[in-house]
C-alpha cells in the first residue's frame, strides 16, 4: 500500500502588486488613493486613521514617505476559522486581508479596496511561524 504524504500546512499567495496597478490605472480610484492628503477634512476630530496620533508620528519620522501622496497605507488583519463549521474539526484556514487606508473612511472596508493576499490552510494555526507564510507579502511590500 502506498501512502501519500499530506502537507502539514499549505499557503496560497495572491500577489497585491497587480491589484494595486489596476487601482491606480483607473482615474477615479487613483484620485481616491490620494484622498488622505487631498480631500479629507482637517480639524480636531478623528474621522479617519490619518487624523490619529500614530499616522502623524509616522509622517514625522518618515518625512520622505509622507511627502508623496501616492504612497499607500495598509491595515493587515488575520484570524483563523474552521471552514467546515464544526469546532471539533482538525482543520483551520487563516485568511490574511489587507485594507487600504488612503481612501475615505466609508470606503476602507468595501470589498473593492480589501485584498485577501494570503490563505493559510492546515490542521493547526500558524502560531509563531506565521512570519514564514507572510514572507511573500513582505517581499512585495519591499518591492513597492
- For residue range 6-50, what is the model confidence (pLDDT) as tens digits? 667 888 999 999 999 998 898 898 888 888 777 767 777 777 787
What DSSP line would sit under 68-96, residue for residue? -TT---EEEEE--B-TTS-TT-S-EEEEE
pLDDT value of position 116: 92
- Containing structural domain, residue 102: 10-36+72-143
pLDDT at residue 2 is higher than 90 = no
Within a domain: residue 47?
no
Residue listed under C-alpha cell 481612501: 103
pLDDT value of position 38: 76
pLDDT band at 88 (very low <50, low <70, confident <90, very high): low
Within a domain: residue 62?
no
Q: 38 φ, ψ to 5°?
A: -100, -40
pLDDT value of position 86: 66
pLDDT value of position 87: 63
pLDDT value of position 15: 93
pLDDT value of position 98: 92
Within a domain: residue 3?
no
Within a domain: residue 49?
no
pTM (2 decimals)? 0.78
CB 13 within 8 A of CB 118: yes
List, for residues 104-136, the tens digit of each pLDDT value.
888 888 888 899 999 988 877 787 888 888 899
Within a domain: residue 137?
yes
The predicted model gives 72-90 an average pLDDT of 78
pLDDT value of position 121: 85
Within a domain: residue 65?
no
CB 122 within 8 A of CB 12: no
Query: How many domains, the chain?
Result: 1
Amino acid at each position: 500500500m502506498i501512502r501519500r504524504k499530506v502537507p502539514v500546512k499549505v499557503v496560497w499567495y495572491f500577489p497585491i502588486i497587480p491589484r494595486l496597478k489596476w487601482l491606480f490605472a483607473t482615474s477615479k480610484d487613483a484620485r481616491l488613493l490620494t484622498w488622505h492628503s487631498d480631500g479629507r477634512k482637517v480639524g480636531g476630530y478623528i474621522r479617519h486613521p490619518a487624523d490619529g496620533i500614530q499616522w502623524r508620528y509616522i509622517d514625522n519620522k518618515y518625512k520622505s514617505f509622507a511627502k508623496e501622496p501616492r504612497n499607500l497605507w495598509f491595515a493587515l488583519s488575520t484570524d483563523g476559522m474552521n471552514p467546515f463549521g464544526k469546532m471539533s474539526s482538525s482543520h483551520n484556514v487563516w485568511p490574511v486581508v489587507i485594507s487600504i487606508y488612503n481612501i475615505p473612511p466609508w470606503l476602507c472596508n468595501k470589498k473593492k479596496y480589501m485584498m485577501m493576499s494570503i490563505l493559510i490552510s492546515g490542521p493547526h494555526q500558524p502560531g509563531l511561524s506565521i512570519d514564514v507564510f507572510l514572507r511573500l507579502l513582505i517581499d512585495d511590500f519591499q518591492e513597492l
